[in-house]
Amino acid sequence: MQEPKVAEILSHPAVSIISLVDAVIEQAYARGASDIHIDPSRSELRMRLRIDGVLQEAQLLPKNIHSEIISRIKVLSGMRTDEHQMTQDGRFRHQFPNGETLDIRVSIAPTYHGENVVLRLLSDKAANYTLEILGFSAVDRTKMLAAIRRPNGMILSTGPTGSGKTTTLYTLIKMLNSPEVSIVTIEDPIEYAVDRVEQIQVNPRTGLTFANGLRSVLRQDPNIIMVGEIRDSETASIAVNTALTGHLLLSTLHTNDAATTLPRLLDMGIDAYLVASTINIAIGQRLVRKICHECKEEWVVNTAAEETLAAIPLKTPVKEGDVFYHGRGCRACGDFGYTGRLCISEVLVADAAIREAIMRKASAAELRKLAIKGGMTTMLEDGFAKAREGHTSIEEVLRVVYE
């Protein structure tokens, strides 16, 4: 697809706002962006693109077309065009000249210099993902496959915002999706439409919260339930009891690593015996940028680098002479040295030792030690393994793990 030129449209005396908004979306998609930020300042509009998880400057737009751009996006999203003092959320589908379509989620908020807008581009590429494509190692894939084969229990994906948790859950749902099972999801928002899966959008204005939705879903005779996020004690309590009564439940939690997930549920007021009885696995993950294939080159560890990396707790320490890789920067990657992303992960399996530790309310540090003793590969170890294989760089792994 040829990348449209926003600058060319802006150069015309009579700017077509419809063509401009279309070009902004198509340019962002062509560059592989996941989000478009259009932020007003005193005298201009700043357009930035989030590419491979990092915001990059894209274009400065004239301030005098600010209101027209916002109005156009509101019309596309079915929002109120006469409301300028409150946040609004919506979505629409963009059609490309070649007939392809792209779902776009929209968030508009009032700021000091006027309304800003963030567009999330929901590419249907996620429909083709597999655990291998996402970057999960063979060992972690085996653990996850064993967990989803169980008829009940909880599978939790954890990490900060933007770490790929939801994509991982969608991939697992796709693997579970068959005519023999009923799958229902409760999401906020629904990121991707999945055929033959009943998806419910949370709507607090009508009283449809995660907790209330989960109660209703249990009357829909499901086998598998996905809850977009466990945010509060009420949702956590219902989710745990759902997993205890013969359902397989998938959800996400905002924690730093897999081991912290279990004490987090205890902090939410869930009884230790319930957590120990229902958890199958906790998946901790981050997204790292992949080295650009066009400008990838070897990097040999020198004495100074070995001394710097000696403080990092690794089973196989980095030694002088070890070969890693980095991207030099080229036209194909915009001189960043990276194109695309993959996940680094750790999968904590709730074995007998972990369940016993949960029962006595062990700390996250103790649970982590037990998990490692039981065969868990930490995110840091997984990241350095991928760096040795040439998929990413040491700098990128350290940036993501220690950010």
Render pLDDT for 236-254 as a digit per residue (tens, 0 to 9): 999 999 999 999 999 999 9
pLDDT digit string, tens, across residues 380-390: 999 999 999 99
Res 126: pLDDT: 62
Task: For residue 140, give both structure tokens.
Answer: 């972690």
Q: Which of 201, 173, 171, 172 is nearest to 186 (CA)?
A: 201
Neighbours of 53 (CB within 10 A): 17
Q: How confident is the model at residue 188 (pLDDT cuts 50, 70, 90)?
A: confident
Between these two residues, 2 and 223, which has the higher pLDDT value? Answer: 223
Among left, alpha and beta (phi > 0; psi -120 to 50; other), residue 321 is left
Distance in Å from the first CA to the final CA of the chain: 35
**Backbone torsions φ then ψ of 349, nearest 5 degrees:** -95, 130
Confidence at 10, pLDDT banded by 50, 70, 90: confident
What is d(CA 266, CA 259) in angstroms, rounded to the nearest whole number?
Answer: 12
When pLDDT is averaged across residues 101-114 and rounded to a whole number, the result is 94
| DSSP string for 213-240 | HHHHHGGG--SEEEES---SHHHHHHHH
Report the distance separating Cα 281 and Cα 149, nearest Å. Answer: 12
CATH superfamily of this structure's domain 136-400: P-loop containing nucleotide triphosphate hydrolases (3.40.50.300)
For residue 48, the cross-strand partners are: 37, 57
Whether pLDDT at 9 is above 90: no
Q: Where are the beta strands (DSSP E) in 228-301?
A: 248-253, 279-291, 296-300
What pLDDT is stored for residue 41 in this prediction?
A: 93
| CATH number attached to the domain at 2-120 | 3.30.450.90
pLDDT at 50 over 80: yes
φ and ψ at 109, to 5 degrees?
A: -140, 145
Domain boundaries, the chain: 2-120, 136-400
Query: What are residue 297's DSSP bridge partners?
Result: 326
So what's the pLDDT on residue 13? 64
| pLDDT at site 125 | 63
Tens digits of residue pLDDT in 339-349: 999 999 999 99
Q: What is the pLDDT of residue 191?
A: 81
- Name the nearest CA neighbour of 6 among 34, 36, 40: 36
Is residue 178 scored above 80 in pLDDT?
Answer: yes
Instruction: Provide mean pLDDT across the span 76-90.
Output: 94
Average pLDDT over the chain reads 92
Asked if 327 contacts 376 with a C-beta cutoff of 8 angstroms, the reply is no
Radius of gyration of the chain (CA): 23
Classify strands 248-253 and 224-227 as parallel, antiparallel or unpaired.
Answer: parallel
Q: Model confidence over 268-310: pLDDT tens digits? A: 999 999 999 999 999 999 999 999 999 999 999 999 999 999 9
* CA-wise closest residue to 285 among 233, 348, 237, 337: 348
As a residue count, the chain comes to 403
What pLDDT does residue 225 have? Answer: 97
- Interatomic CA distance for residues 123 and 275, integer angstroms: 35
Q: How far is CA 175 from CA 80, 91, 193, 210, 300, in A?
A: 39, 27, 15, 24, 40
Closest CA to 106 of 57, 73, 80: 73
Can you tell me the distance from the alpha carbon of 226 to that of 170, in angstroms, rounded to the nearest whole number? Answer: 9
Kindly state the average pLDDT of the residues 85-100: 92
Q: Is the pLDDT assigned to residue 3 strictly greater than 80?
A: no
The Cα–Cα gap between 178 and 175 comes to 8
Residue 143 pLDDT greater than 80, yes or no: yes
User: In 3-state terms, what secondary structure has residue 276?
Assistant: helix
Over residues 25-44, mean pLDDT = 93
Alpha carbon distances (Å) from 194 to 2, 203, 235, 251: 29, 20, 23, 16
pLDDT grade, residue 334 (50/70/90)? confident
Predicted confidence band of residue 127 (pLDDT cuts 50, 70, 90): low
What pLDDT, on the 0 to 100 scale, is given for residue 14? 66
Residue 327 makes CB contacts below 8 A (sequence gap 6+) with 291, 292, 295, 296, 297, 333, 336, 337, 338, 393
Contacts of 330 (CB under 8 A, 6+ apart): 292, 294, 295
Reported as type and span, the H/E element at residue 185 is: strand 183-187
pLDDT at 2: 46
